[in-house]
Amino acid sequence: MMIQYILRRILTSIPVLFGILLVTFALARLIPGDPCRAILGEKATDAVCDRFIREKGLDKPIMTQFGIYIGEIARGDFGNSIRYSLPVTRLLEERLPTTVELSFAALLIAMLVGIPLGVISAVKHNSWVDVVTMIWANTGVSMPVFWLGLMLAYVFSLLLKDTPFWLPPSGRVSPGIPDDPFFEVWKLTLPETGFVTTLCNFISRLNILNALLTGNWELLKDSIQHLILPAVALGTIPMALIARMARSSMLDVLGQDYIRTARAKGLKNGRVIVKHAFRNSLLPLVTVIGLSLGSLLGGAVLTETIFGLSGVGRILYDAITARDYGIVQAFTVVIAVFFVALNLLVDISYAYLDPRIRLD
Amino acid sequence: MDQENKLQTLDAEGLSLKSVSLWQVTWRRLFRRRSAVIGMVILGVMVLIALTAQWIAPYDPLKVLIGVEDVKRREPPCIHLLGCPADKPQHIAGIDGNVRDEFSRLLYGTRLSLMVGFSTVTFAIIIGTVLGALSGYFGGWIDNIIMRTMDVLLAFPSLLLAIAIVTVLGPGLINALLAIGIVSIPSYARVVRASVLSVREMDYVSATRALGGSNMQILFRRILPNALTPLIVQGTLGIATAILDAAALSFLGLGAQPPTPEWGSMLGSERNQVFTAPHLVFLPGFAIMLTVLAFNLLGDGLRDALDPRLAHVS
Amino acid sequence: MNKKLFALLSVIMIASMALAACGGQKTEVPAATDEPTTAPTDAPTAEPTAPPTAEPTPIPDVPIATYDGTSLSVAECGNGYTGFIKSVVAQDANTVVFTLCKSDPAFLSKIAFSPFSIYPQEWIESTAGDETRTSEGLEHPVGTGPYMVSEWKRGESVTFTANPDYWGEAPAAETLVFRWSSESAARLLELQAGTIDGFDNPGPDDFATIQADSTLQLSLRPALNVFYIGMTNTFAPFDNVKVRQAIAQGIDRQRIVDTFYPVGSEVASHFTPCSIPNACDGDAWYDFDPAAAKALLAEAGFPDGFATKLYFRDVVRGYLPQVSSVAQDIQSQLKENLNIDAEIVVMESGAFIEESGAGRLDGLYLLGWGADYPHITNFLDYHFGQATQQFGAIPAAIYEPIALGATIADPAEAAPVYTEANNAIRELVPMIPIAHGGSAVAYRADVVNPQASPLTSESFFATDPGGRDVFVWMQNAEPISMFCADETDGESLRACEQVTEALYSYEINGTATHPALAESCTPNEDLTVWTCALRQGVTFHDGSTFDAADVVATFNMGLNIGSPFHVGNTNLWEYYDYLWGLMKKPGG
């Protein structure tokens, strides 16, 4: 029954995936303006541009281009960036770690602050803690990410200059800080190419993880300093959402009979909250957390712009402006597939927890 | 709220249900929620400002003051009450990068932001309702196609998709609104579809069908009114998101074009002055936050007030 | 269930075909009239084959050069070949002779440009991939310069280390790091925090902040560019010269420069900046005179003004550092001084360049030009030559003297010709020059010999970061590739210039040319043959010795479209093509 349900859900995502490919391709081609001058600059002559269009295969009929694109994707080949003459997979390998690190840091902050706040305000329902938290949570979801980012930079990079609270306004790591990848420190020899090498490269670019793996405390401190501001800016909206959700589902659970029973049995209040109430209010929370991981990517465009990080959001925005079809198509597809997979996981976990859904 | 109080509330509601309509109950519940009232007050002020901007703004928002007044570009606020010398012209929010009165631009910006919020959400609700209703009522392959298309739209991060759509259509406020509208259609379609599904097989609908009512009649008279409540809640919260997204697009230079006084683009064009003229970044951002906050508070309050299941919770 | 799915899939397929067909029309592929009219349902193949007539097969250009390792030449000039260079010959190991098709007074200025840097012959051959340079070739250039690339961390930084065998003055800092950020506020903050030693392009409003800070210093970069308001004289009402003259006098250019441009900028008295010889021969531009402007406009038949559009792209350039603000100010001036209602239209950069270049914009537009090489021909010939379409039809009174001037080497001799050209531009107003935009470079106060090159080609080996070992430089953007023979972007070129050298170089902080890899290049009498004596004892970073064969191999790589080594990043060789002309003839 369960397996059947999972299979069915996977099967129904196939047309969605195909639709994603189609929309991505169509959007990329519908963007007006030619990629030639966007990439080569205003001084490119018509003759040069004609040559460029031919070089990059952009003069082929649209249908043929779509066919080639689908064929390449099916073979796991994302093609080349028009602008950098590099395989898009390599760009992904370089840019993804920045965004992954940023998103996870943001989510971590959101959870570490959001969940306790939500729980406390539910437990201390209607107290001043509750009121303050909820006003704050509502303000949090209402803040434009770019504004919050700029304001944080203003406060922490300028006003708090020459204090221990100063934080750098941009970049991922200060120059001159050694950041040898873990496989070099461990003296591992990697094959020239292949999945393992790609994976190791990817991991080594996650600065914090790499610093932990190699015991490089200087890099760890520096990376964390650089990460705090963008992560807080990006994490504020999910933090507020999580706090709200934690509060309301906690309230729901606290009102249920078995909690009253537990209390009536004489269990200590703290124990009831942690052991019974909190655990049972987790389910809706997991959903919110899972889904906000996806929406973080949209906010990442703005955060990365403000904090000078070259991650996925930034390169995608630049690629849209530059009409670099290769990057637009590949990166969007990767993000969208990630979204679909996330949704699938959420649905399946729901079905697992609530068997009634499977019958739908 | 303690046990006794809660009982009283329930009691009061139970009694009043006999004599007053659902809407009146909702209003009462809404007014009992402090946060919703705060939201409504902020919104009321915003609407008032939007309606009267041309009378209360001290300057024309597009008027360049070079040679008109002795003011410098990006001058910080000058407020007489706070000790700004009386011989200097008063500019409550300072001067912007084109030597215009920032305060007047902020006031006019209110008009635009509210317009943005209402128009995108109206657009999305209309399209979303039609799609959701068709999908839920007819089911089958229509349902499949519509909902899969919605899934595809939902598979992209909404801001990125909006950016791509605006790039396709060309930058500009109208196109930005369209993009945000398109991106938010799926959530309304889903809401409507769900409520259509929940009542489609109910007795009163079957009865209408048996009496020979046409599909349209059933859909509009019997089924859609059910979707109104979730739509109102979703729409109020949706306005908040729409305003935020429109500001983000304008910030990136894809939305409202200069010299239009739109908060997002005012902020975006001065973002490199955040360290030298912070008032030009802080104030428009604060205005956006306040407006969005008002809609969020109101939306939350409406949800609780309209949802009888939640009525007892707080 | 499966049946449903299949139906859905095929519907999406058909929808995709429909969409694809629409796209096909957009690219103006002639409609396939002879396509068999079968039902569309039976052809959901993954790779549809295009009907043979759907696409006009492009006729490729024909290579015409011969190369044998010591000489690169074409058989004849003209006859379809439009390039400048007839041959590049290694006379002996240390002498290279360039024979040109026509006399070129700007030869040294052009040869010093960094895309024409010399690479070792073996490296050119070993890094040539099938379609582009290998990633080694794109990321780790080998040259003779003061620095070598040690690591390029994509998205973050490029690190250079000093070349221990450099033939010239040894670099002051052992390590050089390039970083980038698109936001000027962020760049300034990094400098204030001391995490970088210098950065390019502070925001115009931050100039005062930097000058007031005793820990920082500001180097002004002379303005070698021009910002102008363009008009296309084939559209009414801009076809009326009085309208153009009215607008020329009705814009307060001083107010624009005073309000929106940084220190070091100036109101344009002529189209070409005056530091270039012959640029400012002839009368200076009109003074601001709104009354006269209004009268002229009335005379032209528009006493109450008219409605038009004001096009621009939201891209920051040295000549226009605050695009949107300037556009809004011009809009308000047009309204105030001339009662012209100009609606602002922001266009995507590429489309804007294309439309304006083809003369298809029906209103006013804001554009500018930055020098490629410091010579008047780089300004006037490009904009006002006979073939130019961006201002409509260029009158003969303008393009004739310009064409004549391009053949005269001596500035004194050319002066009367350029006086005539500049006066004609002033009289006929094809566009309105507004400003030469200054920009700057900010450094920490202890940096010795700070640089701000007018050509934006700072050479950091000559700049000492206050005795520190590492010099950290922050610019606007990441280099696209470091194979600059086939790159046009200034941020890329600057990175390459630390590593590779050309036969000549520009002086530090100036535009005069100095010998670099050549000890001298001397012309014959009519400037058609340039003989270059090469510097001896120079080695490349890979240890090989620099000689004449490397020079010929480099030009073979850049110019000879038939060579297997003619592969780069974009494969367009734009500067080779634009400044010299690729060695090819149209096919067919």
The model's pTM:
0.80
DSSP H/E element including C473: strand C470-475
d(CA A26, CA B306): 41
Q: How far apart are the first and last CA of chain B?
A: 7
Output the DSSP codes for A275-320. Answer: IIIIHHTHHHHHHHHHHHHHHHHHHHHHHHHHTT--SHHHHHHHHH
pLDDT, tens digit (0-9, with 9 covering 90-100), for C357-368: 888 899 999 999
Closest CA to C226 of C255, C280, C259, C267: C267
Would you place residue B20 in the very low, low, confident or very high pLDDT band (cuts 50, 70, 90)? low
DSSP H/E element including C99: strand C95-100
* Cα of B177 to nearest chain A Cα, Å: 17
Pick from A270-284, B185-199, C217-231, C401-415 the range whose average pLDDT is largest: C217-231
- How remote is the C-alpha of C130 from its chain's centroid? 27
Range B37-66 average pLDDT: 92
Give the model's pLDDT for residue C148.
96
Residues on chain B bordering chain C, Cβ-to-Cβ distance under 8 angstroms: 62-64, 66-67, 73-74, 97-99, 141, 144-145, 148, 167, 170-171, 253, 257-259, 269, 271-277
Residue B296 at interface with chain A, using a CB cutoff of 8 Å:
yes
Instruction: Provide the percentage of residues in chain A whose pLDDT is more than 90.
Output: 10
Residue A270 at interface with chain C, using a CB cutoff of 8 Å:
no
CB atoms within 10 A of CB C190: 24
pLDDT, tens digit (0-9, with 9 covering 90-100), for C368-417: 998 888 889 889 988 998 888 889 999 999 999 998 888 787 888 889 99
Residue A170 at interface with chain C, using a CB cutoff of 8 Å:
yes
Chain B contact set for C188 (CB, 8 A): 275
pLDDT, tens digit (0-9, with 9 covering 90-100), for C10-21: 444 444 444 433
Q: Nearest Cβ partner of C205 from B74, B144, B253?
A: B74
Output the DSSP codes for C348-383. Answer: -HHHHHHHHHTT---SEEEEEEE-SSSSHHHHHHHH
d(CA B15, CA C342): 64
Tell me whether residue B25 is in a domain.
no
The answer to whether residue B10 scores a pLDDT higher than 70 is no
Tell me whether residue B77 is in a domain.
no
Residue B160 at interface with chain A, using a CB cutoff of 8 Å:
yes
Give the model's pLDDT for residue B74.
86
CB atoms within 10 A of CB C51: 15
User: Chains near B, with 3+ CB pairs < 8 A?
Assistant: A, C
SS3 labels along C380-404: HHHHHCCCCCCCCCCCHHHHHHHHH
DSSP-derived secondary structure letter, A78 = -
Q: What total of structural domains would you count in chain B?
A: 1
Least confident of A276-285, B126-135, B137-146: A276-285
Give helix A195-205 / helix A207-214 axis angle, nearest 10°: 90
User: Are the Cβ atoms of B258 and C324 closer than 8 angstroms?
Assistant: yes
Tell me whether residue B179 is in a domain.
yes
Give the model's pLDDT for residue A12.
78
Q: In what order do the strands lie in the sheet with C431-436?
A: C266-267, C431-436, C225-230, C364-370, C307-313, C341-347
Give the model's pLDDT for residue A285.
78
* Cα of B265 to nearest chain C Cα, Å: 11
Range B245-256 average pLDDT: 88
Residue B66 near residue B99 (C-beta atoms within 8 A): yes
Residue identified by tokens 């010998």 is C515
* Cα of A74 to nearest chain C Cα, Å: 11
Q: Which amino acid is at B130?
A: V
Tell me whether residue B169 is in a domain.
yes
The answer to whether residue C574 scores a pLDDT higher than 50 is yes
Instruction: Provide the percentage of residues in chain C whose pLDDT is more than 90.
Output: 55
User: Are the Cβ atoms of A144 and B159 closer than 8 angstroms?
Assistant: no
Report CA-CA distances (Å) from A213 to A171, A180, A185, A205, C82. Answer: 22, 11, 9, 12, 60
Nearest 5°: CA angle at A290, between A286 and A296? 140
User: Are the Cβ atoms of B313 and A255 closer than 8 angstroms?
Assistant: yes
Q: How far apart are the first and last CA of chain A?
A: 12
Which of C310-342 are b and which e, b meaning 16 or more Cβ less than 10 Å from the residue's Cβ?
Answer: bbbbbebbbbbbbbbbbbbbbbbbbeebbebeb
Would you place residue B28 in the very low, low, confident or very high pLDDT band (cuts 50, 70, 90)? confident
Whether CATH 3.40.190.10 fits C144-222+439-497: yes
More confident residue, A263 or A41: A263
Give the model's pLDDT for residue A275.
66
Q: What is the CATH number of the domain that holds B276?
A: 1.10.3720.10
pLDDT, tens digit (0-9, with 9 covering 90-100), for C132-142: 888 889 999 99
* Structure-token pair, residue C161: 């280390």
Q: How far apart are the first and last CA of chain C?
A: 58
CB atoms within 10 A of CB C236: 11
* Cα of B252 to nearest chain C Cα, Å: 10
Least confident of A100-109, A348-357, B52-61, C268-277: A348-357
Upstream peptide bond of C237 is cis (omega within 30 degrees of 0): yes
Give the model's pLDDT for residue B161.
87
Range A154-167 average pLDDT: 86
User: Are the Cβ atoms of C350 and A43 closer than 8 angstroms?
Assistant: no
pLDDT, tens digit (0-9, with 9 covering 90-100), for A224-234: 999 999 999 99
Helix, strand, coil shares of chain C, percent, nearest 5, are: 35, 20, 45
* Structure-token pair, residue C311: 């096009």
Measured between CA atoms, the residue of chain A closest to residue B249 is A302
Range C110-114 average pLDDT: 92
DSSP H/E element including A69: helix A62-74
Q: Chain-wide mean pLDDT for chain C?
A: 85
Range C476-505 average pLDDT: 90
Domain range for B168: 55-65+98-303
pLDDT, tens digit (0-9, with 9 covering 90-100), for B275-311: 888 899 999 999 999 999 999 989 888 887 776 554 4
Whether CATH 3.10.105.10 fits C225-436: yes
Range A254-273 average pLDDT: 72
Least confident of B16-30, B241-255, C539-553: B16-30
* Structure-token pair, residue C197: 């030693």
More confident residue, C107 or B203: C107
B155: Cβ contacts below 8 Å, ≥ 6 apart: A16, A20, A336, A337, A339, A340, A343
Which of A249-270 are b and which e, b meaning 16 or more Cβ less than 10 Å from the residue's Cβ?
Answer: bbbbbbeeeebeebbeeeeeee
Q: Where are the domains of chain C?
A: 6-26+61-130+514-585, 144-222+439-497, 225-436
CB atoms within 10 A of CB A331: 25
The answer to whether residue B196 scores a pLDDT higher than 70 is yes
The ipTM, to two decimals, is: 0.82
CB atoms within 10 A of CB C93: 14
Q: Is C82 exposed, middle or buried (0-12, 13-18, 19+ CB in 10 A)?
A: middle
The answer to whether residue A1 scores a pLDDT higher than 60 is yes
Give the model's pLDDT for residue B102.
93
Give the model's pLDDT for residue C36.
37
Give the model's pLDDT for residue C104.
84
Looking only at the bridges linking them, the beta strands covering C62-63 and C85-92 are: unpaired
Tell me whether residue B228 is in a domain.
yes
* Structure-token pair, residue A35: 């990629």
Measured between CA atoms, the residue of chain A closest to residue C487 is A40
Closest CA to C319 of C222, C390, C451, C219: C222
A40: Cβ contacts below 8 Å, ≥ 6 apart: A48, A49, A52, C488, C570, C572, C574
User: Are the Cβ atoms of C177 and A43 closer than 8 angstroms?
Assistant: no
The answer to whether residue A213 scores a pLDDT higher than 80 is yes
Give the model's pLDDT for residue C198.
95
d(CA C50, CA C54): 6
pLDDT, tens digit (0-9, with 9 covering 90-100), for B83-120: 888 888 889 999 998 899 999 999 999 999 999 999 99
Would you place residue C436 in the very low, low, confident or very high pLDDT band (cuts 50, 70, 90)? very high
Domains of chain A, start order:
2-74 (no CATH), 89-179+216-353 (1.10.3720.10)
Closest CA to B116 of B264, B221, B220: B264
The answer to whether residue C9 scores a pLDDT higher than 50 is no
Residue C450 near residue C201 (C-beta atoms within 8 A): no
Beta strands in chain A (DSSP E): none
Residue B78 near residue B90 (C-beta atoms within 8 A): yes
Give the model's pLDDT for residue C54.
40
Would you place residue A251 in the very low, low, confident or very high pLDDT band (cuts 50, 70, 90)? confident
Give the model's pLDDT for residue C291.
94
d(CA C443, CA C449): 10
* Structure-token pair, residue B242: 């729409």
Measured between CA atoms, the residue of chain C closest to residue A52 is C572
Q: Chain-wide mean pLDDT for chain B?
A: 84
Q: Give the bridge partners for C320, in sequence order.
A: C317
d(CA A334, CA C192): 39
CB atoms within 10 A of CB A294: 23
What does residue A138 show for φ and ψ, rounded to 5 degrees? -65, -40
Output the DSSP codes for B230-295. Answer: HHHHHHHHHHHHHHHHHHHHHHTTSSSPTTS--HHHHHHHTGGGTTT-THHHHHHHHHHHHHHHHH
The answer to whether residue A61 scores a pLDDT higher than 90 is no
* Cα of B44 to nearest chain C Cα, Å: 33
The answer to whether residue B17 scores a pLDDT higher than 60 is no
Least confident of A253-267, A317-331, B155-169: A253-267
What does residue C502 show for φ and ψ, rounded to 5 degrees? -105, -175
* Structure-token pair, residue B58: 């001290």
Give the model's pLDDT for residue C167.
93
Q: What is the CA radius of gyration of chain A?
A: 24
The answer to whether residue C450 scores a pLDDT higher than 50 is yes
Q: In what order do the strands lie in the sheet with C71-74?
A: C65-67, C71-74, C85-92, C95-100, C529-534, C518-523
Range C150-171 average pLDDT: 90
d(CA B260, CA B116): 13
Range C308-337 average pLDDT: 88
Report CA-CA distances (Å) from B250 to A228, B145, B257, C309. Answer: 26, 33, 8, 21
